């Protein structure tokens, strides 16, 4: 599945280069128009990242999400600054399909495991952003990529699998926002090691050939942001490429 992605700061669409807030590109496109366009081209869900909330959970852009969902039939999965049960309940009450949890899975794994058991694996996605060192150690980074956790991606997937984990969004931070191509070997290894997990790949997609390569790795979905915003190809072309891959 192709999942278009939109990152928001203060209600405006942006893209970060390798997760750096001081290396951002801003787009003039209206968020409602962009989402409407994606759904008209065949998208079944959009990935929405609240970068304000990711940086400061007290600044989540709830009003934007509420406006989007109250005026449309959009399906969205939302990440950024989700820290409490109240955050989850509010997003679900607004009509969000899935919530995406990242850093909290490191800082408070007991709580996240409880949520997975309570809400189910179809409602919660765990997002693990990783840095791969020279020894191929996949270290998870947290707090909007400002800190290294010291924990491996594989360990976390193993840990949460017993609690009903179904979806994992994995981003190689060296590829994010670069258009330089995805880390194919990373996703091949993950799919081979964890056949029970539905992986969403993120980072580096810049061409239709990249989509074909990722499809062949076995991941279930590709999240694409910058390439669609900058019209490297259309969403229709991306979906067709995925279906034919």
Catalytic residues: 7, 129
Q: What angle do CA 203, 31, 9 make, to 5 degrees?
A: 65
Q: Give 19's DSSP letter.
A: T
Q: 168 near 140, Cβ under 8 Å?
A: no
Strand partners, 138: 132
Q: 27 near 13, Cβ under 8 Å?
A: yes
Strand partners, 7: 14, 49
- Per the listing, tokens 């990935």 go with 47
Helices (H) and strands (E) in the chain, counts: 11, 12
Q: 189 near 216, Cβ under 8 Å?
A: no
130 phi and psi angles, rounded to 5 deg: -125, 155
Encoding tokens for residue 195?
A: 């056949």
Q: 204 near 180, Cβ under 8 Å?
A: yes
Strand partners, 167: 125, 198
Q: 171 near 144, Cβ under 8 Å?
A: no
Pick from 31, 13, 3, 30: nearest CA to 214: 3
């Amino acid at each position: 599945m192709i999942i278009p992605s939109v990152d928001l700061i203060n209600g405006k669409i942006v893209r970060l280069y390798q997760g750096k807030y001081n290396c951002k590109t801003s787009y003039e496109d209206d968020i409602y128009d962009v989402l409407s366009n994606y759904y008209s081209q065949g998208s079944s869900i959009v990935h929405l990242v609240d970068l304000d909330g990711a940086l400061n959970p007290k600044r989540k852009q709830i009003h934007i999400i509420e406006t989007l969902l109250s005026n449309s039939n959009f399906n969205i999965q939302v990440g950024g600054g989700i820290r409490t049960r109240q955050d989850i309940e509010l997003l679900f009450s607004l009509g969000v399909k899935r919530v995406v949890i990242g850093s909290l899975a490191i800082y408070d794994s007991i709580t996240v495991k409880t949520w997975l058991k309570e809400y189910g694996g179809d409602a919660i996605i765990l997002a693990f952003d990783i840095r791969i060192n020279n020894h191929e150690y996949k270290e998870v980074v947290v707090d909007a990529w400002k800190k290294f956790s010291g924990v491996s991606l594989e360990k976390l997937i193993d840990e949460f699998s017993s609690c009903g984990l179904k979806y994992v969004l994995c981003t190689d931070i060296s590829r994010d926002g670069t258009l330089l191509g995805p880390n194919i070997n990373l996703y091949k290894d993950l799919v081979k090691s964890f056949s029970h997990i539905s992986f969403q790949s993120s980072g580096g997609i810049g061409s239709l050939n990249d989509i074909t390569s990722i499809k062949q790795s076995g991941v279930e979905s590709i999240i694409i942001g910058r390439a669609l915003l900058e019209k490297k190809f259309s969403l229709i072309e991306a979906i067709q490429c995925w279906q034919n891959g």
